[in-house]
């Protein structure tokens, strides 16, 4: 991979992260970027961006959220013109078509872990604008229950939030 392509891929990722008001996951960025480069090259670009401080990677559960830094914004200001108009339109279209799905994937997380024999803990989070609306931990007796709760959280988190607000207010 030439340095020019490497630089372009970095700028593309910075552009994507700068165009949204929520973090994107590494998987979400990869989904778009793998149409332009290969997996190994993309992993190197992610590493370069985090090591140079242009992007912060935060691991939440099984996801890695990517956030552009001020340094990344500055680099985009100086070198962003190297991204062609067609490529910008491709990225803008992708974000426009997928923004709701992308936002929901980042905002609603659930995971579980075995605490000890006969006890599992679920951890359910709903974020809005990067801040927790709900951060809930529940203990359940078995893995099947934990899995069901995590699966249902993705679909019913708004109902749970509304119920809690209704009960507590």
pLDDT per position as a tens digit, 34-61: 999 999 999 999 999 999 999 999 887 6
Dump pLDDT digits (tens) for 101-145: 887 777 788 889 999 998 999 999 887 766 788 899 999 999 999
User: What is the distance between the alpha carbons of residues 166 and 39, in angstroms, rounded to a whole number?
Assistant: 47
Residues 16 and 98 in one domain: yes
Which one of 52, 87, 106 terminates a domain? 106
Q: pLDDT value at position 30?
A: 94
Contact 15, 38 (CB under 8 A): no
Query: Which of 106, 124, 152 is at the close of a domain?
Result: 106
Quick check: 76 and 88 in contact, CB under 8 A?
A: no
Say yes or no: 76 and 63 in one domain: yes
End position of a domain, from candidates 57, 90, 106: 106
SS3 for 150?
helix
CA dihedral in degrees (132, 155, 16, 88; nearest 10)?
A: -150
| Model pLDDT, residue 1 | 41
Range of the domain at 31: 3-106
Question: What is the distance between the alpha carbons of residues 156 and 169, in angstroms, rounded to a whole number?
Answer: 20
Q: Does residue 34 sit in the same domain as residue 77?
A: yes
Q: Quick: pLDDT tens for 2-14.
A: 558 889 999 999 9
CATH number at residue 97: 1.10.10.10
* Per-residue pLDDT band at 99 (split at 50, 70, 90): confident
pLDDT (mean) for 56-71:
86
């Amino acid at each position: 991979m030439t340095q020019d392509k490497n630089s372009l891929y970095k700028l593309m990722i910075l552009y994507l992260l700068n165009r949204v008001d929520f973090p994107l996951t590494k998987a979400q960025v990869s989904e778009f970027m793998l149409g332009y480069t290969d997996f190994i090259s993309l992993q190197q670009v992610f590493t370069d961006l985090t090591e140079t401080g242009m992007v912060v990677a935060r691991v939440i559960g099984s996801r890695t959220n990517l956030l552009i830094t001020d340094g990344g914004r500055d680099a985009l200001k100086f070198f962003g013109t190297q991204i062609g108009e067609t490529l910008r339109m491709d990225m803008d279209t992708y974000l426009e078509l997928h923004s709701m799905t992308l936002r929901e994937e980042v905002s609603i997380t659930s995971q579980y872990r075995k605490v000890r024999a006969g006890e599992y803990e679920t951890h359910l989070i709903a974020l809005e604008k990067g801040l927790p609306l709900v951060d809930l931990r529940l203990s359940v007796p078995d893995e099947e229950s934990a899995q069901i709760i995590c699966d249902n959280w993705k679909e019913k988190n708004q109902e749970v939030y509304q119920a809690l607000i209704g009960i507590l207010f």
